[in-house]
Each structure stands twice: as structure tokens, then as C-alpha cells.
Structure 1
Amino acid sequence: MLARARADNRAALATYLPAGYPNQTQSLRILHRLAEVSDVIELGWPYSEPTLDGPVIQRAGAQALAAGFRVRHLLASIRSLAASPASVLVMAYFPPLFKYGLDRAARELAQAGAAGVILPDLPIEEADAWLAAAQHVGLHTVFVVAPSTTDARLARICAAASGMIYAPAVAGVTGSTGPLHGALPAFVQRLRAATDLPVGVGIGISTPAQAQEVSRIADVTIVGSALIRTMDAAHGPRQQADATVDLARALRAGLRRADPPRAAA
């Protein structure tokens, strides 16, 4: 999917929603519509202690859990997207993954049709068991890499990762509405020097203008909290879906570029 977007001289669009938010029925309705305009659906595994997430995604995950979310709903959501044009990445924190069982989780996610798993809280030093389980069933593992990562540790992460590398656009948690980090272009260049994997940039992208800015340097532009805020501001299931997809279309519209990012760098 990412190679196809790159061949089309544009960044791919990844849109994030927690599975089961605001409830399973409405979640599926919106996910299917987002899959029509997104290259990647990033599907969150709701968890009670999401350390990387700000208030917007925390509230959304808590609402999904209160509405009765279970892992079977996540798997059903992935299966329901199998015929869509978008690839599916699961964004999961390690504790619920571990509790569910690493081998079982990897096997069932792969069987459902997920392309990979983003694990923002799994240190590379403790990743061997998960990596073995994921590689056995053909799941990509996407690591979130902070700019403060040392060169030696970055090399180790890049050697173990597959699918893409995830770089934060701002310091801190998801949901920021301020400017992107000024050192982001230099950090993306550093990642490109360390790996041939595509680079995805998320955390803090909230407007079409910011998405377009990121598209000049990254392979994937990732947006989540802005979509949830748009859902929350709409009234009624149909209006929620329409407003969310309208934002995704606006985000995607600015992702085409004259030259691929690696050539520009």
C-alpha cells in the first residue's frame, strides 16, 4: 500500500480510531467510510492506561470500553475491513497484548487480516518474544521512535522493525493542536539514514495544512485525535460519519507532491 502511494508521488494517509468507539455499530460504519479515502486504517486496541495518548484518545478509548469493547470486537472490525482498499494496522499497548497472550494475539490478528501492530510502549530490549510471535505469522511490527533515541539504539530498532518506522511530529502525547516540532525534518532525515523502511509521522497533526507539511518529508501522514474531535462535535450517527470522512478527504487532498520525499532529501 505504501509503495503504491509512493509511486503515485504522494504521502499515504493513515487515519486512527479506537475500535468500538463510540460503539461497535457506529465504529464499523465510520471505519468503512474512512477506508474509502485512507491508505491505512490505524485501529486502536482500547486500553485503560494509554501512556502515549492525550485526553481526546483517552476519552474515546474509555468510552469504547464502557460501551462493552472486547478483543472479539477488534478482530471483527479487522475482518470487516478485509475487502476494503485500505490496509489495517493495530495500535496496541503491550500490557493487554501480553495478557491476551503474545502468540494468540499475533495469530488471531494475522488471521483477521491485520498487516501489523504499532507498539508505542514496547522497548526494543524487551521485544524478542513479541517479534518472534509476529514474524511467525507475517505481522509487521512498527516502533515509535523518539528523537532522543541514541544512534546505537536506533540501529537496533530499525533492524527489528518492519512495515514502517513511526516518528512523532510533536513532543509529548497525542492530540496536540500546536505547531509541529521544528526539528522534525532533521529527525526524519536521520531515520532515513538509518533505514530503508518508510517513515510515518503522527502525533500532533491536526489540520490539512500540517498534513501537507508532513507529506513533504514523510511517506505516511497519520491523523487520529483531529478525527475524534470532529466526530465529537457532530450530532447524530450520519453527521458523525459525514464530518469525519470530509476531514479525511481534506487531509488527503494535500498529500500529492512533485517529488518523492527521499529524492527531495
Structure 2
Amino acid sequence: MNRFSLNQATTKHWPLEELVAGCVRAGVPAVGLWREEVAAYGLDKAAALVRDAGLAVSSLCRGGFFHEQDWYDDNRRAIDEAATLGTDTLVLVSGGLPGRSRDLDGARRHVADAIGALVPDARAAGVRLAIEALHPMFAADRCVVATLGQALAIAAPHPADAVGVVIDTYHLWWDDQVWRGIEEAGRQGRIASFQLADWITPLPAGVLLGRGLPGTGSIDMRRFATAVRNAGYQGWIEVEVFHEEVWARPGAEVLAEAYAGYRAAVR
């Protein structure tokens, strides 16, 4: 279990104090946190809760959404929040097309420029910006970065310890170029986070909530875990699942199944 992390999104309705206590009971060493839930609990209070429990924070989700008017100030806050929580990884979801624009190339250029503008702030805080590519079906409204190759291209002008990429099985499993991308990310030292979630069908009406626990869907988790390991990544492996039915279950039960899926993937 020494690399397993439970992302807070997987047990969305498990209050933070109960999540932390449940992880401690189960021997889980790390949690991935979300800004909204941390803010609701209180940033300094959350940092103390996790620290006093002896847990690491594997990542903070999320920064990004660079088309919003206050993107710079919000991302500066996100960097500071990550540093306060003791994590060196801030996950970035770029945001979709702004307004009624159809300029996808222009939107991606803006994302690249915005991340470049944040690099000095992130480096000063000791936080790494981790670009997450989302499945192409989210390009219009959530994330114009749709492939690992695009994420690596945006990261390329910056030091690897300042800007990395996220390998999320749910978003990348469909791409036959992802294996080359993982190899290249490893060569560059760019892998900042590795997240497990399965692709289940039929997809629900809210597609964003269509993730399954590892081992319940169509993705070859073992192949991803092997590729990421062979690329040299030795960091945390998060289980991050969005699904109403998963959220409705007891947190400890979901945690146990998440860990079982993780073990089956990485052993």
C-alpha cells in the first residue's frame, strides 16, 4: 500500500474528517484533495488534520480553467493552497472553449501561455504544475487539452520539475499513441501524477460521472501501470472515480474496493 492514494473525489460524500480517519484505520498513506472541499472545511484546518494524521497529500485538484476572467489570481491561490497542504502537485484542467469561440488552436495557445505565466509562482512555492489531458468529448466545455501528446507539448518549454503531466487511465485509454507518450514523459521526467479510473458502459447521462472503480470496466489497468512503472515513475498512484452510485456507498467499502483494484493493477 506504500504508493496507494485515495483521491477525495472517489468518496465525495465522505466528510473529510471521516475520510482521514478511515484512511488511517486502513493503513492508507496518502490522499488526493480537492479545493472546494478543502475550502469548505478550512484550508489551515484541513492541512493540520491531514498532517496530524500522518498522511501525505498526493495532489490537489484543481487549478486551470484558463478562459475564466480571474484565471491568474485563482491559480495563484491554488498554488498557495497546495503549498499549505504540503503537496508538490497541483493538477491543472485547462478549461474548454471560451464563450462562443470555435478557435480550438487559439484556446490551446492561451493555455500554454497561461501555464508559462504561472511557472515562476509555482517554482517559488515548490509546487509542480501537472497538466491533465481529458477525453476529447470534454474539449468544448472542460478541457481543450485532449491528448497526452498535447500536454507534453505545452510542458516542453519549461523545466520538468516545474511542469509535468498527469496520466489518467479514464481519459487516455482510447489513444493508441498513449504508450509512446508515456515513454516520452518518462524520458523527460514529466510524470507528475498517475490516476486510476475505469471506463464503464453504458455511460450515464452525465458523462463526467461515468468512471468506475479500477477493474470494473474496459481499461487494461495492468498495461497502464506497467508502462508508467517502466517509464520510471515511482510516485503516488491515486484512485479517482466520479460516479453517483459509488458516492452513495459507505466510504470504507469504496476505499477497500479501490485498494483492491489498485493492487490488481500494480502487482
- Listed one character per residue, the Cα deviations across residues 87-140 of structure 1 (whole Å, up to 9, x for unaligned) are 442332165861753322233223233233141332233334422134355333
Corresponding residue of 2:213:
180
Count of residue correspondences: 199
CA distance in 1, matches of 2:86, 2:66: 31
Unmatched segments (≥5 aa) in structure 1:
50-64, 219-260
* SS of equivalent residue, structure 1 residue 43: strand
1:162 is aligned to 2:191? yes
Do the aligned partners of 2:91 and 2:166 also contact (CA within 8 Å) in 1?
no
Do the aligned partners of 1:12 and 1:40 also contact (CA within 8 Å) in 2?
yes
Do the aligned partners of 1:18 and 1:44 also contact (CA within 8 Å) in 2?
no
Corresponding residue of 1:214:
258
| TM-score (norm. length: structure 1) | 0.55
- Give the CA RMSD over aligned residues: 4.2
- The equivalent position to 1:202 in structure 2, one of 231, 234, 240, is 240
CA shift in 2, pair 1:187/1:128, >3 Å:
closer
Do the aligned partners of 1:19 and 1:43 also contact (CA within 8 Å) in 2?
no
Q: In structure 1, what residue type is equivalent to 2:181?
A: R
Corresponding residue of 1:223:
none
Do the aligned partners of 1:92 and 1:119 also contact (CA within 8 Å) in 2?
yes
CA shift in 2, pair 1:86/1:106, >3 Å:
closer
Corresponding residue of 2:132:
119
Corresponding residue of 2:121:
108
Question: Counterparts in 2 of 1:131-146, with a 5 A limit?
Answer: 131-135=155-159, 138-146=162-170
* SS of equivalent residue, structure 1 residue 13: strand
CA distance in 1, matches of 2:29, 2:261: 9
1:16 Cα offset (Å): 1.7
1:202 Cα offset (Å): 0.9
Question: Counterparts in 2 of 1:13-92, with a 5 A limit?
Answer: 13-18=31-36, 28-29=43-44, 31-33=46-48, 35-36=50-51, 37=55, 39-45=57-63, 47=65, 70-82=71-83, 84-92=85-93
| TM-score (norm. length: structure 2) | 0.55
Return the structure number with greater relative CO, CA threshold 8 A, min gap 6. 1
CA shift in 2, pair 1:135/1:78, >3 Å:
same
Q: Percent identity?
A: 13
CA shift in 2, pair 1:165/1:91, >3 Å:
same
CA distance in 2, matches of 1:150, 1:81: 30
CA distance in 1, matches of 2:84, 2:38: 19
CA distance in 1, matches of 2:28, 2:256: 10
